Amino acid sequence: MTETGGLTPAARKILDAAAELFYARGITAVGVDLIAREAGVTKKTLYDRFGSKEALVEAYLRERDERWRRWLTEQVESGDAGTAHERVLRTFDALGLWMRRENPRGCGFVNAAAELPDPEHPGRKVISEQKRWLRGCLRDLAAQAGARDADQLADELVLLHEGATVLNGLRVIADPVAAARSLARGAMERAGCR
């Protein structure tokens, strides 16, 4: 990586290859030899750019988190943003679109968490930050929508988001995001949202 935090061309190739492989095959199943080969670089270049597989996993998860945050924010605030109530429901619409585009094998963060049991792993910290950010985003939207207890509603909404994501990957019910959106609407009504 460069000093400014930007990626060199080789680092970009490595991170792109790692992201595809980690998501498709799993973090523990993919070694640095395969990543280097797929990126068209040497293993030495991989270590020169990232230092370790753990740092590469962290970079993969951080970049995925940044893309998700950007996507969700743009989708919720796009066009006529509507009421806060509508923006909460838009988070589920954004989730549905994201999962069709980005998550055919389920949530990349949940998948990674299952493979990274050590709470001190740098990737595990990114996963926790991502989930806390989502809850905070939903809490802010719940407060804007006039929820009597924005924290409680945020807990319910994040559980619905995460449950829909996991069930989508498992194909347990036909459209878990639509079901979660419907349940979210009911939770918002009970919380006094307008």
Q: Assess contact for 157 and 138: CB atoms under 8 A.
A: yes
Domain that holds residue 102: 58-190
pLDDT in tens, 91-128: 999 999 999 888 778 889 999 999 999 999 999 999 99
Query: Are 91 and 153 part of one and the same domain?
Result: yes
Query: Are 184 and 94 part of one and the same domain?
Result: yes
Query: Are 45 and 115 part of one and the same domain?
Result: no
Task: Quote the pLDDT of residue 168.
Answer: 87
Burial label for 140, CB within 10 Å (0-12, 13-18, 19+), is middle
pLDDT in tens, 20-78: 999 999 999 999 999 999 999 999 999 999 999 999 999 999 999 999 999 999 999 88
How many CB atoms are closer than 10 A to CB 59?
23
Q: What is the CATH number of the domain that holds 14?
A: 1.10.10.60
Query: Are 17 and 107 part of one and the same domain?
Result: no
pTM: 0.90
Residues 6+ positions from 78 with CB-CB distance below 8 Å: none
Q: What is the CATH number of the domain that holds 131?
A: 1.10.357.10
Task: Quote the pLDDT of residue 5.
Answer: 53
Task: Quote the pLDDT of residue 172.
Answer: 83
Query: Are 6 and 76 part of one and the same domain?
Result: no
Query: Are 40 and 64 part of one and the same domain?
Result: no
Q: Assess contact for 8 and 1: CB atoms under 8 A.
A: yes
Count of structural domains, the chain = 2
Query: Are 91 and 166 part of one and the same domain?
Result: yes
What CA–CA distance (Å, rounded) separates 64 from 93?
19
Q: Assess contact for 141 and 184: CB atoms under 8 A.
A: no
Query: Are 110 and 20 part of one and the same domain?
Result: no
> Could you say which DSSP state residue 51 is in?
S
Query: Are 114 and 185 part of one and the same domain?
Result: yes
